[in-house]
């Protein structure tokens, strides 16, 4: 298409860099999601709410590093925490530090957890939460939901796990937002074998398919009923309220997984919850599960994460920011009426969809029938308008983005709809 041709023309340096990258990285890529045909625009640097590409284009960053970029690219409190690690604390200390216990204490109080453990990513948090649930219950199966993404090797886009899921047996896959299917799969299929029920309160990879309250409560109740560990994946949603989506929905998970912005923009993951469940990881106990990880307590993540949550993303800021996100989504929903655009999400996280059947609500990944051509055109043309977006349509707002840029985005979307999708 013409838009694709313009993309190639506007990004000659990226093309050259891509041609170099394919010589050492498969497809020039080390994060599948960032692969875009014909080649990705290479990003050189970021500042505040903007990123600048290797071709000299500056964009308003609406990718927000898939929620990890909440603070933007140069938040002063986070910068000074990182500088003080480099100048005063040091890296890779090979010992226990008070930095990890201070961040742990803050996270436990914010998210109402008895105990927490750190990992390097949300993927590892999933891995260890599941291992903990299996050890605690002595059972082996895990119930998950269609469309779920719990990390690089925990993807369930259909009713079978993707091929890179570790150990492809032992999963029971229920339909998201289907109360009866969830109840049946959890309570009736093999209740004595189910160690854990693992679910996102909003499916981030949907993008942003919101879990209905009655459904989430039913899943929690069914997990309780059969004695399985109820694990809520809050890797994306922990930012939606001071105490995460569980606070908004009145959920009380046994374990919660977290990650992303809670490391202040540095590599991070965590899982935690009930003391008796987390005790399986207490090395003072006989038969404790091992959970090592060279960088679990790395000083950069501990300091940056703590500075961010204690000084920047305070409970008031979290509430205000997400209510701004809600009004942004409502404005987009208003202009989407009578067009092929559908906007989903909650608070500061949004999903932008172009659907062939014109649905205005998405209850499950299965319902999503993308108009691929329009979706790509939107991504390419909004990039020309100066917005850095993810091709799949997730928007993760960043704290420093000025209101004018949010307004400008709405206007550009409106123009796009007039040109192509009315």
Q: Which is nearer to ligand PLP, 34 or 152 (CB)?
A: 152
Q: How far apart are CA 405 and CA 413, in angstroms?
A: 12
- Number of neighbours of residue 152 by Cβ within 10 angstroms: 17
Answer whether 175's CB lies under 8 Å from 148's CB.
no
Contact between 121 and ligand PLP by CB under 6 A: the answer reads yes
Using the rule CB under 6 A, which residue among 65, 178, 233, 381 binds ligand PLP? 233
Q: What are phi and psi of 24, to 5 degrees?
A: -125, -20
> Which of the ranges 117-125, 137-145, 292-300, 408-416 carries the binding residues for ligand PLP, by CB under 6 A?
117-125
CA-to-CA separations, 204 to 201, 277, 384, in angstroms, rounded: 9, 26, 26
> Quick one: 267 exposed, middle or buried, by C-beta within 10 A (0-12, 13-18, 19+)?
middle
Q: Which is nearer to ligand PLP, 66 or 197 (CB)?
A: 66
Per-residue string for binding with ligand PLP, 247-286, x by CB under 6 A? ------------x---------x-----------------
Q: Which is nearer to ligand PLP, 15 or 43 (CB)?
A: 43
Q: Which of 59, 54, 58 is nearest to 13 (CA)?
A: 54
Cβ 70 to ligand PLP shortest distance, Å? 13
Q: Which is nearer to ligand PLP, 235 or 383 (CB)?
A: 235
Q: How far apart are CA 326 and CA 86, in angstroms?
A: 38
Answer whether 206's CB lies under 8 Å from 173's CB.
no
Kindly determine how many residues on this chain lie close enough to bind ligand PLP according to the rule CB under 6 A. 16
Cβ 263 to ligand PLP shortest distance, Å? 9
The residues near 2 (Cβ < 8 Å, ≥ 6 apart) are: none
Contact between 150 and ligand PLP by CB under 6 A: the answer reads yes
Contact between 396 and ligand PLP by CB under 6 A: the answer reads no
Answer whether 405's CB lies under 8 Å from 60's CB.
yes
Which residues from 350-379 bind ligand PLP, rule CB under 6 A?
A: none
Using the rule CB under 6 A, which residue among 111, 136, 145, 149 binds ligand PLP? 149
Answer whether 199's CB lies under 8 Å from 175's CB.
no
- Number of neighbours of residue 208 by Cβ within 10 angstroms: 26
> Which of the ranges 14-22, 148-156, 221-229, 333-341 carries the binding residues for ligand PLP, by CB under 6 A?
148-156
Contact between 66 and ligand PLP by CB under 6 A: the answer reads yes
> Which of the ranges 53-61, 206-214, 228-236, 406-414 carries the binding residues for ligand PLP, by CB under 6 A?
228-236
Binding residues (CB under 6 A) for ligand PLP: these are 66, 121-123, 126, 149-152, 200, 204, 233, 235-236, 259, 269
């Amino acid at each position: 298409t013409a838009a694709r041709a313009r993309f190639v023309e506007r990004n000659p340096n990226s093309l050259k860099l891509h041609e170099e990258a394919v010589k050492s990285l498969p497809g020039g890529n080390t994060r599948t999601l960032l692969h875009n045909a014909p080649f990705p625009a290479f990003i050189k640097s970021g500042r505040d709410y903007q990123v600048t590409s290797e071709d000299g284009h500056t964009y308003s960053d609406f990718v927000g590093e898939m929620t990890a970029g909440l603070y933007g690219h140069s938040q002063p409190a986070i910068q000074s925490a990182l500088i003080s690690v480099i100048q005063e604390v040091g890296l890779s200390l090979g010992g226990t530090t008070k930095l990890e216990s201070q961040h742990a204490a803050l996270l436990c109080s914010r998210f109402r957890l008895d105990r927490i453990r750190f990992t390097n990513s949300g993927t590892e948090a999933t891995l260890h939460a599941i291992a903990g649930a299996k050890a605690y219950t002595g059972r082996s199966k895990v119930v998950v939901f269609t469309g779920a993404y719990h990390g690089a090797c925990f993807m369930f886009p259909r009713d079978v796990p993707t091929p890179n899921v570790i150990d492809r047996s032992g999963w029971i896959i229920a339909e998201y937002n289907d109360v009866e299917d969830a109840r049946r799969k959890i309570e009736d299929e093999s209740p004595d074998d189910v160690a854990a029920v693992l679910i996102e309160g909003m499916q981030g990879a949907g993008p942003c398919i919101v879990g209905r309250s009655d459904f989430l409560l039913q899943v929690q109740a069914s997990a309780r009923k059969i004695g399985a560990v109820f694990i809520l994946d809050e890797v994306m949603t922990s930012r939606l309220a001071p105490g995460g989506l569980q606070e908004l929905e009145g959920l009380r998970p046994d374990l919660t997984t977290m990650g992303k912005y809670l490391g202040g923009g540095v590599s991070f993951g965590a899982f935690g919850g009930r003391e008796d469940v987390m005790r399986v990881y207490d090395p003072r106990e006989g038969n404790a599960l091992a959970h090592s990880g060279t960088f679990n307590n790395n000083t950069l993540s501990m300091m940056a994460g703590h500075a961010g949550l204690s000084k920047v993303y305070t409970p008031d800021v979290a509430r205000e920011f997400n209510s701004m996100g809600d009004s942004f989504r409502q404005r987009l929903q208003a202009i989407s009426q009578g067009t092929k655009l559908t906007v989903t999400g909650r608070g500061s996280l949004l999903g932008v969809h172009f659907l062939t059947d014109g649905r205005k609500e998405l209850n499950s990944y299965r319902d999503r029938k993308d108009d691929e051509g329009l979706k790509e055109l939107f991504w390419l043309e909004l990039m020309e308008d100066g917005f850095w977006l993810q091709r799949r349509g997730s928007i993760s707002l960043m704290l420093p983005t000025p209101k004018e840029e949010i307004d400008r985005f709405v206007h550009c979307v409106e123009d796009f709809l007039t040109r192509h999708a009315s």
